[in-house]
Structure 1
Amino acid sequence: MNETNRGFLHDRFLRGLAMAPRGCAVAVGNESAGYEQLHELALDWAGALLARAQEPPRAVGVLAGQGITAYAGVLAALYTGAAVVPLHAGFPAARTRRMLEQSGASALIADEAGEAALAATGLELPVLAPGTSLVAGSGALTEPRPAEPEDTACILFTSGSTGRPKGVPIRHGSLHHYFRLMDERYDFGPDDVFSQTFDLNFDCAMFDLFCAWAAGARAQAVPPQAYLDLPRFVAEHRMTVWFSTPSAIGLVRRTGGLRAGGMSSLRWSFFAGEALRAADAEDWQRAADRTALENIYGPTELTITVTRHRWSPDTSPGLCVNGLAPIGALHEGHDHLLLDADGDPAKREGELCISGSQLTRGYLDPEDDQGRFLRRAGRTWYRTGDRVRLLGNGELVYLGRLDTQVQLRGWRVELAEVEHALRQCAGVEDAVAVTAEGDKGAELVVFYTGDPTAPAVLARQLRQILPSGMLPRHCRHLPEFPLNSNRKTDRGLLAKEAAELVAPVGNEERRA
């Protein structure tokens, strides 16, 4: 078998190296690294890691910001035959400590910020930093160490920047299945330039890097300031493939970047991580008028993404529910099961459960498996916690999280329906609905962006769309929604703001 086609994750980089050895593999600001340079650096660092270890590491952490150190570190970790554990230097120290301990990382590749973040955890680990010389008597590897399809290629952690992180081991075999489908579906090549918008601890970054690298293409990091004039940034870097969360569309709209034909160089546009609004898909495709746009969906536990819907201006709007685009059909090699509120099979609508080749074997901590994995019909299914509807064409459309269907004053309220109604009000761009406990129980609070509007005016418009039991008690305008570290709308932070807004009178602790 060709050594660049064995099915290991890092073989995708070797394939790009063979296709475009002099090509640029990754660019970050004024820095860039070619395929040969990044390969040699990864071999050097992998050799150093192995020389320092009494036995080959099972997992290697990469604690670095968006830069050459991080990208070379990912490859170096894989080249040792270990699982790579991408980490975020901006996370709380306690969280980083837990991730390092749970993953079993026995070494770390870090930049200056990463070294500081490690020090804050109180852990002592061997650290390889830029400029580190090889251990005396050791040398660079001549080639990456092999792995097996059942070996863990990477360990990613869910639950955002706060809360109890759950470690998800992803096998080389699962990634091979996933990327084989990507290769069959898309015509990426050496002339492509991929956006790299995601931090490396976010699973979608694996798509950016390993789709680009397998094609001999360039991954171009997108800094926050690029969104001030994204069409200019896209044109300057001749970008052809875009991938981000849908929240980026609203940001580009607010900076005037969605003008018609403003991003004509984009051949492909992908969105994942949040529900994609039909209005956002239409506006993006108008600006990227030569792009094929896909809404792709998948929890980390199912290896990056596991469904896709190709947006069509002619047919997709008619498939939307509450203004949200379909998430599409499952990847080959997967089946779905819908469960009703009692846990029984449902035909048309319910909680989405998925089984197939991309499913993780379980969390690092077996206690986290409780309630998330289901054994039925001799198979293991992952319970996504997402409610979906099965459409007549066999595709799925996202309805919301299980916990976004709430009871208010006897009404069963779909938060997604409230958000959709608010977006139909004059001047409203986007909306997020949450609940909070007030003096009289749970209350509905909505935050919106767009033009500030008097609450009475919004209420009058909403009464024409929603029944009285679904009307929000509080509407608050924001210039923009807060984003978490993965650049998704931070609903948790908005829920905290709502709790402070409606905290019962006399509860000084909650109002503080």
Structure 2
Amino acid sequence: MSETPVSGHGLHERFLRGLALAPSRTAVRVDGESLSYEAAHERALGLAGALLAVGAERPRVVAVLADKSPTAYVGILAALYAGATVVPLNPRFPVERTRRMLTVAGVEAVVADPVGRAALAGTGLALPVLADGGSAAPLDAPLAVLPSDIAYVLFTSGSTGRPKAVPMTHGANHGYFTLLDGRYDFDPEDVFCQNVGLNFDCAMFELFCAWGRGAAVHAVPPAAHRDLPGFLAERRMTVWFSTPSGISFIRRMGGLTPGAMPTLRWSFFAGEALLCADAADWQLAAPRSKVENLYGPTELTITVTGHRWSPETSPALAVNGVVPIGRLHPDHEQVLLDGEKESAFEGELCVTGPQMTPGYLDPADDEGRFLERDGRRWYRTGDRVRRLADGELAYLGRLDAQVQIQGFRVELAEVDHAARRCPGVWNAATVTRPAADGGLELVLYYTGERVPAATLRRALAAELPEAMVPKTYRRVAEFPLNANRKVDRGRLAREAAASSDGRP
């Protein structure tokens, strides 16, 4: 029996809910320009009409190649209104990477701002480009979609260096946001930050949590992080979302003083490990905010676990000073694998449930990432976790963060944790580089005060086995961040390797 459209299951219908709740309120604000729900809706209908007029058939896949701007936000809505799959891309990525992503996703039309147009021109691809509705007739209403239709495609970094295309369905997103509606009390009075890049899955959390409740979304310019309390106060911002890496920068800028961010009601962190010290400082700075540590790969629809920070109970549950990631969402199941054997205590987290992707666009990328077990398909996250006594999960790190040094199994997160306990060290990131004997050796990068290497080495040697004590120590003002504002450990490892043979 063929599938039929189901009212309320399209991702764009989150925006229609907000339109009904707060038609004249702000839907999105970028710098000094604001669009109400009514205005954004009308512009999206117009642009959707133009997309449908591109060819004989409606484009099935539409890229949004734009900086954070009204064009980008309306473009995402317009693609969804046109019944297409939207592919948000960063126009400032290397040209060859952009060309590859446009090709792999099968993009048939592009919504672009001037920066995006220049990026597209550099790819050499001849694709229709739009920025507004032009003279085309606008749609009367968004087109219906099936729960199994693909709402968006996002790209994650692949182990081969080739980005992997992850399609996510309207049905998976409907289930996800329905669950969040029950968990959080967002309303039209809320003001959400839009902090992460639009090509990052957490942007979908920011946009569609807000739009489903008639709340406002404000794009956060990079300069705002230098005086975040002032920016939040000026915008009366109530919902914050970022990767944990941003906390240390805000601390250095003086933004984490007690009570500095009183308007926040909710603060969410995802994308990498959240340290207890950072969560505690953020909670003091935002005393009226509930703080949550969220976890989930793109392949499981944005986030699939959550732990609500409690100064009284969370530190005791932490492993290596990292806030637990919580329990899986309802209707999902987990298996922990130690090698290929199931473990009741610790191992690679494998998940099955309604938020799982149907598989990568390139079936070759599925190899090694999915597990067939008990007649069901499971996604292998590549993350090592520990099941805690209360049933929550503690994040231990990536499988590839476990290395062999002199035959000794070393957890890089454990070295980081020990280093953070050294006086003067704020945060630490341990990487490996080739050693003279043909093996590996550890290099510790840290932020904070300048501490003599001999002092750090003695402190760590008193706590860790010799094989786990780094050979080299490097202070940095701040860790390099990748495009998704996570600590770029790959770059640190490359720098460490380059210096091992005398190169700067």
TM-score range, shorter chain: over 0.9
Please point out which of 286, 289, 292 is paired with 2:290.
Answer: 292
Q: Does the C-alpha gap of structure 1 residues 34 and 84 become closer, same or farther in structure 2, counting only changes over 3 Å?
A: same
- The letter of the residue matching 2:99 is R
Distance in 1 between the 2:177 and 2:8 partners? 13
- Give the structure 2 partner of residue 472 of structure 1: 470
Distance in 2 between the 1:187 and 1:160 partners? 36
- Give the structure 2 partner of residue 65 of structure 1: 67
Please point out which of 37, 40, 44 is paired with 1:38.
Answer: 40
- Does the CA-based 8 Å contact 2:65-2:111 persist in structure 1? yes
- Give the structure 1 partner of residue 387 of structure 2: 390
- Does the CA-based 8 Å contact 2:6-2:147 persist in structure 1? no
| 2:130 corresponds to 1:133 | no
- Give the structure 1 partner of residue 15 of structure 2: 13
Matched residue SS, 1:249: helix
- The letter of the residue matching 1:26 is V
Distance in 2 between the 1:465 and 1:255 partners? 32
- The letter of the residue matching 2:350 is C
Distance in 2 between the 1:418 and 1:45 partners? 52
- Give the structure 2 partner of residue 362 of structure 1: 359
Distance in 2 between the 1:35 and 1:493 partners? 41
Distance in 2 between the 1:52 and 1:479 partners? 49
- Give the structure 1 partner of residue 108 of structure 2: 106
Distance in 1 between the 2:52 and 2:283 partners? 48
User: Please, what TM-score do these two structures have when normalized by structure 1?
Assistant: 0.96
Distance in 2 between the 1:251 and 1:303 partners? 28
Distance in 2 between the 1:183 and 1:371 partners? 34
- The letter of the residue matching 1:357 is P
- Give the structure 1 partner of residue 461 of structure 2: 463
Q: What are the equivalent positions in structure 2 for 1:374-385 lying under 5 Å apart?
A: 374-385=371-382
Matched residue SS, 1:326: coil
Question: Which digits, 9 at most, give the CA deviation of each residue in 1:431-470, with x for residues without a partner?
Answer: 0001011212211001000001110111121122212121
| 2:306 corresponds to 1:308 | yes
- The letter of the residue matching 2:330 is E
Matched residue SS, 2:394: strand
Distance in 1 between the 2:204 and 2:426 partners? 31
Distance in 2 between the 1:198 and 1:163 partners? 22
- Give the structure 2 partner of residue 508 of structure 1: none
Please point out which of 417, 420, 424 is paired with 1:423.
Answer: 420
Q: Give ranges in structure 2 of 5+ residues lacking alignment.
A: none
- Give the structure 1 partner of residue 87 of structure 2: 85
Q: What are the equivalent positions in structure 2 for 1:152-191 lying under 5 Å apart?
A: 152-159=150-157, 163-191=161-189
| 2:317 corresponds to 1:319 | yes
- Does the CA-based 8 Å contact 1:195-1:239 persist in structure 2? yes
Matched residue SS, 1:327: coil
Please point out which of 193, 196, 199 is paired with 1:195.
Answer: 193
Give runs of ≥4 in structure 1 deviating > 6 Å: none
| 2:121 corresponds to 1:124 | no
- The letter of the residue matching 1:77 is A
- Does the CA-based 8 Å contact 1:353-1:383 persist in structure 2? yes
Distance in 1 between the 2:48 and 2:467 partners? 61
- The letter of the residue matching 2:257 is R
- The letter of the residue matching 1:164 is R
Question: Which digits, 9 at most, give the CA deviation of each residue in 1:5-37, with x for residues without a partner?
Answer: 611100000000010000000111111111111
- The letter of the residue matching 1:397 is A
Distance in 2 between the 1:251 and 1:31 partners? 27
How many residues of Structure 1 are paired with residues of Structure 2 in the alignment? 499
- Give the structure 1 partner of residue 141 of structure 2: 143
Distance in 2 between the 1:162 and 1:26 partners? 37
Distance in 1 between the 2:222 and 2:350 partners? 35
- Give the structure 2 partner of residue 258 of structure 1: 256
Please provide the CA RMSD for this pair. Answer: 1.4
Instruction: Tell me how far 1:163 sits from its aligned partner.
Output: 2.5
- The letter of the residue matching 2:295 is Y
Question: Which digits, 9 at most, give the CA deviation of each residue in 1:300-350, with x for residues without a partner?
Answer: 000000000011111100000000010000001100000002x11111000
Instruction: Tell me how far 1:160 sits from its aligned partner.
Output: 8.0
Distance in 2 between the 1:25 and 1:160 partners? 34
Question: Which digits, 9 at most, give the CA deviation of each residue in 1:26-55, with x for residues without a partner?
Answer: 111111111111100000000011012210
- Does the CA-based 8 Å contact 1:411-1:469 persist in structure 2? yes
- Does the CA-based 8 Å contact 1:4-1:14 persist in structure 2? no
- Give the structure 1 partner of residue 370 of structure 2: 373
Distance in 1 between the 2:11 and 2:388 partners? 34
- The letter of the residue matching 1:483 is L
Identity among equivalent pairs (%): 60
Instruction: Tell me how far 1:161 sits from its aligned partner.
Output: 12
Q: What are the equivalent positions in structure 2 for 1:336-347 lying under 5 Å apart?
A: 336-341=334-339, 343-347=340-344
- The letter of the residue matching 1:368 is D
Distance in 1 between the 2:452 and 2:158 partners? 34
Distance in 2 between the 1:488 and 1:322 partners? 19
Instruction: Tell me how far 1:216 sits from its aligned partner.
Output: 0.6
Matched residue SS, 1:294: strand
- Give the structure 1 partner of residue 398 of structure 2: 401
Question: Which digits, 9 at most, give the CA deviation of each residue in 1:226-276, with x for residues without a partner?
Answer: 111111111110000000000111111010100001101111010000000
Question: Which digits, 9 at most, give the CA deviation of each residue in 1:374-397, with x for residues without a partner?
Answer: 000011000000000000111100
Distance in 1 between the 2:351 and 2:88 partners? 26
Q: What are the equivalent positions in structure 2 for 1:206-245 lying under 5 Å apart?
A: 206-245=204-243
Moved more, 141-150 or 455-464: 455-464
Q: Give ranges in structure 1 of 5+ residues lacking alignment.
A: 506-510
Question: Which digits, 9 at most, give the CA deviation of each residue in 1:392-422, with x for residues without a partner?
Answer: 1111000011011111012111100000010
- The letter of the residue matching 1:380 is R
Distance in 1 between the 2:31 and 2:493 partners? 35
Moved more, 420-429 or 97-106: 97-106
- The letter of the residue matching 1:330 is L
- The letter of the residue matching 2:182 is E
